[in-house]
Amino acid sequence: MASNPTDPKALILHVGTKHLSSWSMRPFLALVYAGAEFTCRTIPLDRPTTKEAILAVNPTGKVPVLVQGDLVVSDSLAICEYVAELFPHARLWPEKREARARARSISAEMHAGFAALRRDMPMNLVENRPGVGHTPEALADAARVMTIWREALARSGGPFLFGTFTIADAMFAPVATRFQTYGVELDATCRTYVDTVLATSGFERWKREALAERG
């Protein structure tokens, strides 16, 4: 739901082109899952005006950025953390301390790593490219992701990594889309998990808006 952007407490999430911006998708999913009212504004990526447009809302020059009055929260994971604090009822981190530590640990690993997977299979929601980008480095990253998923799902019993949807699922959602569009081979557990993430209302809404943006 859109908030009234003139309200000083209104949340405005600035994102990059939706079918391409994997970093932007993550806080969007967290906000939707939390039931937040927010306005989402897209800054088109890869244009001569992109940098200037982003710098007008975020001095780091990156999207996503969440703006609430004079508060500017930059970076996908930091925004997810803020959303978790704003909407504690949504339990965007697991309730149990150990599970929370595990969820934060794999979210940080996702945030800081997997460069080859990002480089060789960049997120693109509107192009199916099975077999493309299957370099040894990217497949090694994919194998590590699947190990993370299998371990978390075995411990929690699913359907999400820590039972219910958490920030960890938001962080890995763009990888789920890549596995689908690039045709990465998955076992039954990972296939079910990918299908679960892609069936969330947050992802469906992001994809719908991504397609609408393309016209």
**What is the contact surface with ligand GSH in residues (CB under 6 A)?**
16, 21-24, 45, 50-51, 54, 61-64, 75-77
CB of 17 to ligand GSH, least distance (A): 8
**Which C-beta is closer to ligand GSH: that of 16 or that of 133?**
16
Number of Cβ atoms within 10 Å of the Cβ of 163: 17
**Which C-beta is closer to ligand GSH: that of 26 or that of 102?**
26
CB of 169 to ligand GSH, least distance (A): 16
**Which C-beta is closer to ligand GSH: that of 60 or that of 201?**
60
How far is it, in rounded angstroms, from Cα 66 to Cα 79? 7
Q: What interhelical angle do 76-86 and 22-33 show, nearest 10?
A: 10
CB of 104 to ligand GSH, least distance (A): 15
**Which C-beta is closer to ligand GSH: that of 52 or that of 151?**
52
CB of 65 to ligand GSH, least distance (A): 8
